[in-house]
Structures are given as structure tokens and as C-alpha cells.
């Protein structure tokens, strides 16, 4: 019953990423006043005051409240059980408000605690407190107990009422707590509303399901509960230190699956279980069933991997032990239980009355949330990742991280591209440096002729030795008076911050060379846009490397930039901060020489066609 088993269960739930399919709610501890809805005032007050240091001064109370043998006093006792009770009560309240269909609290299920005494490692009966909360909104509540021990504390609390039916499948005989006989059926108005199914040692999966399913089915048909509380004690598994049943993980989880299929508001609680390596695996597997997730039987890496050696498997198999429950015995017990249930065919009614108003604890003060955090913790806890999500939990704008052995999602993604995108104003579209350099075999430059769109093998590629520090000035072609004025507005910017814009007097090249200077939008990647030519092998490699990165932004081939009438002064600083640019801007004297040689071959018609293409673009 140590909290370490809850820690191991939580770690497996995180490792299997089941938390993405459910909301997480951090319940507040139950107050003393809330506990006294069932427990006596003096018992709760004693539980709050006693500690291991002052226990010697409470000798009379220790004997009176059964704080002996299996219920010792330990540090943090009241805090632990107030958290357990508060979680179960909050789960019931969420079911009442319709905020959840199924609530899970593996730290609950302490079914032995009585009104005025502790029993069987149980000090506060969170199950009774949760059922009392459910009764505020629901007429009838069904309690199902599959722990190896009889749920005597819950049965005793509702032994005389017909609004709660208790059903327990347990070991009966010389076994703790010694109650739960077939003839214990309730008293007064609660007669026949207490169902006990006594079992013998070594019952296996097949035998257990042969009695569990028909009994629960008849209860659902005749009692017609409005809500269900399911106690999933794992000491009924094979190999438990205190249990004597022989259930496998699949047999135990089949009970959870069967109850879930009735589609009623269900509160799922923990309970007993003293072989913690089995407890954590079964509860994690049953969490997967409740959220509808298939789980790999091979355990993922987690903080407690050594506990699951040597098989490192999620499965908890049954043992080869004798089943003392004969078919005749089980059939006789089943018939007797169903015969008692037939007396409850007429569903009990409840007098109509006003339902007390609930306090909605799910409303968060927006002013108290951190404005710098993209998704605050209360919002993140309640977020459920859709099944159709194609990528990880970063659907919330977050990335996974492991801290202190626990996988959390509380880091926002802030890479360089995101920061630069936030700096762009006036609704301008963000583009990286590689997006301005278009691969020749994917898309030709804007305004280029058909010959410029040829693949890299047929394009004029500038050798790396010809790359200089500054962009070469370009001269307007002869007879191209109108084009000269338009191209004077195109600016070439050096990568260094303090470089001044180079004069934009680019000479249009011949047909076989790349197009003349492509207009570039103000504030974009202007280095390498002075004279867009067929890219060098190094630049091409950088472009393809960038395209393979998993950055959620439009592909480079789909980005179109348009020049402003005049480049703003801040263009220089933005160009200097552009990531992954070569340290030097290519200077293309070789292409300028080629242009001079072929200048005489250019005709007036070619110039007019090229000018028309640039204007169209």
C-alpha cells in the first residue's frame, strides 16, 4: 500500500503516452469537514493530530481506533489519505457535472476503513465519500469490488439503503476480514441490495468471468444504476504476496472492459495489491483500456525498468496452481445470487428534491495565468491530443522533455525561424535565405526565359573560385533606356551589417545565362538576390538540406516575393541576421564577361521579349 506503486503506475502511463488521451485534474485534498460526511468528528480530529513523535500520548485512542498491527501511525499519514479522498470526491463531482465519462484515481479504493476506525491499511474510506457525492445527482449507484478481500467498509456504510447496491467478488473463509458470506444481503430497505459472491483459492480467468459477467449483467438489467464505482484491487492477481487467486492481467482487465461497455458514468479506483511490479503494469494496462488505446506488451523505457526484469513485459501471466472452485460450486453460487437479485426487479425510486448547487472548480483565473507561457499548466492538463493528430504532442505548440525521470510537455518551441517570423511586420510573409534561391531543376527564376529553366546540367554554373566578396555591378543593355530606370531600384546588399547597398545597374544576360536581377521584397533575404543565377553546388546543397528539415513553413518553390518601391533601411540588419548564409556574397565577374562577349549577339527583339516577361512577373 506504499505510494511507490502509484509512482510506478504513473511512470508507465507517461511512458506509454496515455496521458495524451485524457485530461488531468489536480484535485485538492479533502478537508476535515468533507471527511466527516462519513467518518466521526473525533476520529478525523485524532487522525489529523497524531504523529509518530506524539503517538505515545494517544495510547487510549490508538486502541480505540484500531491503530494497531496493520494500521500503524506514520509520517504524512493525514496528508496522504486526504489527497486520496479528495481525488475520489473530485472525480465523482466531475461525473455529476457531466465533465467526464470516466474518472480514474489509482490512489483510491480504500474499502476497509470504517466510520470510527481504521482497518486493513485503510484509514479514510474514499469510496464511501465518493458515492455520497454521486448520490447528490444520481438516484442509484452500483459499487463493484474485484479485490481479493471483501469490501466490508463500503458494504457496512450502505447496508440499510436501496440507493446503493454493493457487489463484491472475494475470497471467503479463514481470510481477512472474515465477512462477505453469501447470506449477507442487507437489512431494512437495503435487503437484497448487498451482493456477495464468496470464492475459493486458485480461481482462474475462465472461472472468474463465468460468474462475474452474468451477475453484473443481471444487476444492470434489474437495478438499472445511474453511475458505477469500480474498485480494481490487484491483490486478486496471480503471485500477489497476500492474495490467493490466480487471475492474469487479461482476466483482471476483462472485468474493467465489461463494465466500461455499459457506457455509464464510471469512477475507477485502485485498491489492494502487494506485488508492486504487477500492480503498476495492470493498472497501466487498464488505463489503456479505459482510454481506448492499444498497448505494446513490450515495456517502453521507464524509470523503474529493473523492477520488471527479466522479461520486461507488460503481461502478468497466471500460475500453474490448483483451482479449488469447481464448476458445480460456481454454478450453485451463481444461481443463488441471481435468485436474490430477482427480488430487486422493481427499480427503487427516489423522492424528487432540489439538487444542491455545485461549485465549479474548473474555472481558472485568466489573470493568474502566465501571459508569457503559450499553454499554461491548467490548460495543458485538460488538453486531449486528437487521435487523428499526425505528429507528436507538439500539436499544443509544445515539445516533450524528460525531467527527473518524468516525461513532461511544458517547453515552448522557440527556434530562430520563429523569432525572426515574429519580427516581420505589416503582414509580410516570412521566407528563409534558401527560399529565395530556387533550384534550377525545380522552378525557374521569375522573369527568366525558357532556356533559363533548363536543368542544372545545361545551366551555366559559376565555379567556386570565381566567387568574390561583393556583388558585381551590372550595366543596362544597349537600347534599353526604359529598363535602366526600373532596375535602378533593385538593391544588392552585402551580408555584413555595415555594408552599403551596391548600385543596382545589372545588365540583362543572354538567353543561356540566368535571368536578370529578380525583384526582392523589402526585409527579405536580399543577399544572393542581386543577380539570381543558376546556384552553385554548395548553395544548392544548403537549399536541399534546408528542405529536408522538419520546419512547418511553406516550401521554397511556393514562395513569391515582390519588391517594394524602395528597400527600407532595416533591410541591411535583417539580411545580416539571416541564418545559414555563406560568409561572402557571390560576385559574378565571369558572368559579366560572358555578357560582354555575347552583347553583340543580342538583338532588339530579344530585349523586348525579356522586358515583357519581367513586367508580367
> Would you name the residues annotated as active-site residues?
112
Q: Check residue 382 and report its DSSP letter.
A: T
Q: Which of 606, 442, 616, 584 lies closest to 513 in space, CA to CA?
A: 606
Cell (9 digits) for 378: 491548467
d(CA 132, CA 24): 23
- Cβ burial, residue 584 (10 Å; 0-12/13-18/19+): middle
CA distances from 546 to 380, 440, 537 (A): 31, 16, 14
Cis, peptide link before residue 95, omega less than 30° from 0: no
Which segments within 129-250 are labelled E, that is strand? 141-145, 164-171, 194-199, 227-231
Cβ-based neighbours of 104, under 8 Å, separated by 6 or more: 22, 91, 268, 269, 287, 290
For residues 519 and 504, the answer to whether their CB atoms sit within 8 Å is no
Burial of 313 (0-12, 13-18, 19+ CB in 10 A): middle
Give the closest residue to 148 by CA, choosing from 66, 71, 250, 252. Answer: 252
Q: How far, in Å, CA of 206 to CA of 236, rounded?
A: 14
CA neighbor of 506 nearest in space, from 536, 530, 526: 530
Cell of 446: 521569375
Residues 195/341, Cβ–Cβ less than 8 Å: yes
CA distances for 200 relative to 152, 324, 331, 340, angstroms: 18, 6, 13, 21
Distances (CA, A) of 431 to 3, 555, 574: 52, 9, 12
Give the integer Cα–Cα distance in Å for 171 and 163.
26
Quote the CA–CA distance of 272 and 251 in Å, as a whole number.
Answer: 17
User: Please, are residues 494 and 470 in contact by the beta-carbon 8 Å criterion?
Assistant: yes
Burial of residue 471 (CB within 10 Å: 0-12, 13-18, 19+) is buried
What are the C-alpha distances in Å from 331 to residues 206, 344, 475?
13, 21, 102
Amino acid at each position: 500500500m506504499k505510494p511507490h506503486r502509484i509512482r510506478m503506475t504513473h511512470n508507465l502511463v507517461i511512458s506509454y503516452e496515455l496521458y495524451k488521451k485524457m485530461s488531468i485534474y489536480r484535485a485538492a485534498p479533502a478537508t476535515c469537514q468533507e471527511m466527516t460526511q462519513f467518518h466521526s468528528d473525533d476520529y478525523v480530529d485524532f487522525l489529523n493530530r497524531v504523529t509518530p513523535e506524539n503517538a505515545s500520548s494517544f495510547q487510549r485512542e490508538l486502541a480505540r481506533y484500531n491503530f494497531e498491527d496493520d494500521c500503524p501511525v506514520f509520517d504524512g499519514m493525514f496528508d496522504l489519505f486526504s489527497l486520496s479522498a479528495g481525488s475520489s470526491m473530485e472525480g465523482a463531482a466531475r461525473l455529476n457535472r457531466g465533465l467526464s465519462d470516466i474518472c480514474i484515481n489509482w490512489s483510491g479504493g480504500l474499502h476497509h476503513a470504517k466510520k470510527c476506525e481504521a482497518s486493513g491499511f485503510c484509514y479514510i474510506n474514499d469510496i464511501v465519500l465518493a458515492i455520497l457525492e454521486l448520490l447528490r445527482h444520481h438516484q442509484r449507484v452500483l459499487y463493484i469490488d474485484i479485490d481479493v478481500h471483501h469490501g466490508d467498509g463500503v458494504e457496512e456504510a450502505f447496508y440499510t439503503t436501496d440507493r446503493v447496491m454493493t457487489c463484491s467478488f472475494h475470497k471467503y473463509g479463514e481470510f481477512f476480514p472474515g465477512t462477505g458470506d453469501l447470506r449477507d444481503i442487507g437489512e431494512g430497505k437495503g435487503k437484497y441490495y448487498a451482493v456477495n459472491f464468496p470464492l475459493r483459492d486458485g480461481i482462474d480467468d475462465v472461472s472468474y468471468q463465468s460468474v462475474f459477467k452474468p451477475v453484473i449483467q443481471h444487476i444492470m438489467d434489474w437495478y438499472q444504476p445511474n453511475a458505477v464505482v469500480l474498485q480494481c484491487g490487484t491483490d486478486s492477481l496471480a503471485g500477489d504476496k497476500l492474495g490467493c487467486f490466480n487471475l492474469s492481467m487479461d482476466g483482471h482487465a476483462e472485468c474493467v472492459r465489461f463494465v466500461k461497455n455499459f457506457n455509464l458514468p464510471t469512477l475507477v479506483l485502485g485498491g489492494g495489491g502487494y506485488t508492486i511490479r504487477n500492480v503498476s503494469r495492470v493498472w497501466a494496462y487498464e488505463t489503456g483500456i479505459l482510454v481506448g488505446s492499444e498497448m505494446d506488451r513490450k515495456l517502453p523505457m521507464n524509470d523503474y525498468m529493473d523492477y520488471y526484469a527479466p522479461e520486461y513485459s507488460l503481461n502478468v501471466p497466471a500460475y500453474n496452481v490448483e483451482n479449488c472452485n469447481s464448476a458445480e460450486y460456481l454454478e450453485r453460487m451463481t444461481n443463488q445470487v441471481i435468485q436474490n437479485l430477482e427480488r430487486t426487479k422493481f427499480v427503487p425510486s427516489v423522492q424528487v428534491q432540489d439538487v444542491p448547487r455545485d461549485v465549479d472548480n474548473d474555472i481558472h483565473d485568466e489573470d493568474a495565468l502566465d501571459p508569457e507561457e503559450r499553454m499554461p499548466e491548467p490548460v495543458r492538463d485538460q488538453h486531449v491530443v486528437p487521435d487523428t493528430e499526425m505528429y507528436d504532442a507538439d500539436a499544443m505548440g509544445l515539445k516533450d522533455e524528460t525531467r527527473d525521470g518524468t516525461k513532461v510537455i511544458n517547453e515552448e518551441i522557440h527556434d530562430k525561424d520563429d523569432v525572426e517570423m515574429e519580427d516581420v511586420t505589416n503582414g509580410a510573409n516570412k521566407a528563409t535565405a534558401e527560399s529565395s534561391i530556387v533550384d534550377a531543376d525545380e522552378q525557374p527564376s521569375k522573369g527568366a526565359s525558357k532556356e533559363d529553366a533548363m536543368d542544372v546540367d545545361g545551366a551555366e554554373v559559376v565555379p567556386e573560385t570565381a566567387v568574390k566578396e561583393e556583388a558585381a555591378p551590372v550595366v543596362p543593355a544597349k537600347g534599353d533606356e526604359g529598363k535602366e530606370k526600373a532596375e535602378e531600384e533593385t538593391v544588392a546588399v552585402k551580408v555584413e551589417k555595415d555594408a552599403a547597398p551596391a548600385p543596382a545597374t545589372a545588365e540583362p544576360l543572354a538567353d543561356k545565362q540566368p535571368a536578370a536581377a529578380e525583384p526582392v521584397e523589402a526585409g527579405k533575404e536580399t543577399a544572393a538576390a542581386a543577380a539570381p543565377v543558376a546556384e552553385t553546388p554548395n548553395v544548392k546543397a544548403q537549399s536541399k538540406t534546408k528542405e529536408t528539415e522538419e520546419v512547418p513553413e511553406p516550401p521554397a518553390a511556393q514562395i513569391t516575393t515582390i519588391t517594394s518601391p524602395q528597400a527600407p533601411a532595416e533591410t541591411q540588419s535583417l539580411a545580416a541576421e539571416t541564418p545559414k548564409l555563406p560568409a561572402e556574397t557571390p560576385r559574378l565577374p565571369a558572368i559579366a564577361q560572358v555578357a560582354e562577349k555575347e552583347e553583340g549577339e543580342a538583338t532588339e527583339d530579344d530585349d523586348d521579349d525579356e522586358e515583357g516577361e519581367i513586367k508580367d512577373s
